[in-house]
Structure 1
Amino acid sequence: MSYNIHHCNPPSKQGVIDVDAIANAIKQEDPDIVAVQEVDVNTGRSGRINQAALLASKTNLKAFHFAKAIDHDGGDYGVLILSRYPLSDIHTYKLPMEANSQGEPRVLAMATVHLPGGKKMKFGSTHLDAMRNPANRLLQIKTINAIADTIAVPMIVAGDFNAEEGSEVIKLLDNQFTRTCSPCQPTIPAVNPKKAIDFIAYKPQSAFSVILHKVVNETYASDHLPVTAVMKLHF
Structure 2
Amino acid sequence: MKHFLWLLTLWLSTVYAAQAQKITVLTYNIHHGANEQGRLNLIRVGQLIREHKPDLVALQELDSATTRSYGGYQMQQLANLTGMYPLFGKAIDLEAGAYGIGILSKYPILASQNIPLPNPDSTEQRVILCAYVELPNQKTIRFCNTHLDHQSRLNRGMQLAMVNQMLRVSIQPVIWAGDLNARPDEPGIQPIWNEWQDAGVRSKTPTLPHGNARIDYILTRRQSKFTLLKYEVLKEPDTSDHQPVLATYLLK
Greater shift, 193-202 or 167-176, is seen at: 167-176
RMSD: 1.3
Which of 172, 177, 191 pairs up with 2:191? 172
Which of 38, 41, 50 pairs up with 2:61? 38
For 2:251 and 2:161, the matched residues in 1 are separated by 26
Which of 195, 216, 227 pairs up with 1:198? 216
Instruction: Give 5+ residue unaligned stretches, structure 1.
Output: none
Which of 144, 161, 171 pairs up with 2:180? 161
**Residue type matched to 1:84 in 2?**
K
Alpha-carbon deviation of 1:168? 2.5
Tell whether the 8 Å contact from 1:155 to 1:204 is kept in structure 2 after alignment.
Answer: no
Alpha-carbon deviation of 1:50? 0.3
Does 2:232 align with 1:214? yes
For 2:48 and 2:202, the matched residues in 1 are separated by 24
Alignment of 1:126-145 (within 5 A): 126-131=146-151, 133-145=152-164
For 2:222 and 2:107, the matched residues in 1 are separated by 21
Instruction: Give 5+ residue unaligned stretches, structure 2.
Output: 1-25
What number of residue pairs does the alignment pair up?
226
For 1:146 and 1:39, the matched residues in 2 are separated by 26
Query: What is the aligned partner in structure 1 of residue 113 from structure 2?
Result: 91
Tell whether the 8 Å contact from 1:112 to 1:121 is kept in structure 2 after alignment.
Answer: yes
Which of 72, 77, 80 pairs up with 1:54? 77
Alpha-carbon deviation of 1:214? 0.1
SS at match of 2:87: strand
Alignment of 1:78-117 (within 5 A): 78-98=100-120, 101-117=121-137
Q: C-alpha offsets along residues 13-54 of structure 1, whole Å, 9 cap, x if unaligned?
A: x2x322101111222211010000000000001100000101
Does 2:92 align with 1:70? yes
Which of 20, 31, 45 pairs up with 1:6? 31
For 1:64 and 1:170, the matched residues in 2 are separated by 29
For 1:182 and 1:82, the matched residues in 2 are separated by 25
Tell whether the 8 Å contact from 2:182 to 2:189 is kept in structure 1 after alignment.
Answer: yes
Query: What is the aligned partner in structure 2 of residue 226 from structure 1?
Result: 244
Tell whether the 8 Å contact from 1:178 to 1:205 is kept in structure 2 after alignment.
Answer: no
Report % sequence identity.
35
**Residue type matched to 1:83 in 2?**
S
Select the structure of larger CA radius of gyration.
2
In structure 2, the CA distance between the partners of 1:85 and 1:220, relative to structure 1 (3 Å rule), is same
For 1:193 and 1:29, the matched residues in 2 are separated by 25
**Residue type matched to 1:178 in 2?**
Q
Query: What is the aligned partner in structure 1 of residue 206 from structure 2?
Result: 186
Alpha-carbon deviation of 1:60? 1.6
SS at match of 2:224: helix
SS at match of 2:137: helix
**Residue type matched to 1:186 in 2?**
P
**Residue type matched to 2:82 in 1?**
T
Tell whether the 8 Å contact from 1:154 to 1:204 is kept in structure 2 after alignment.
Answer: no
Q: C-alpha offsets along residues 145-186 of structure 1, whole Å, 9 cap, x if unaligned?
A: 111123111100000000001112332332332111213321
Tell whether the 8 Å contact from 2:28 to 2:245 is kept in structure 1 after alignment.
Answer: yes
Alpha-carbon deviation of 1:103? 1.2
Tell whether the 8 Å contact from 2:79 to 2:104 is kept in structure 1 after alignment.
Answer: yes
TM norm structure 2: 0.86
Greater shift, 149-158 or 168-177, is seen at: 168-177
Alpha-carbon deviation of 1:114? 0.2
**Residue type matched to 2:76 in 1?**
A
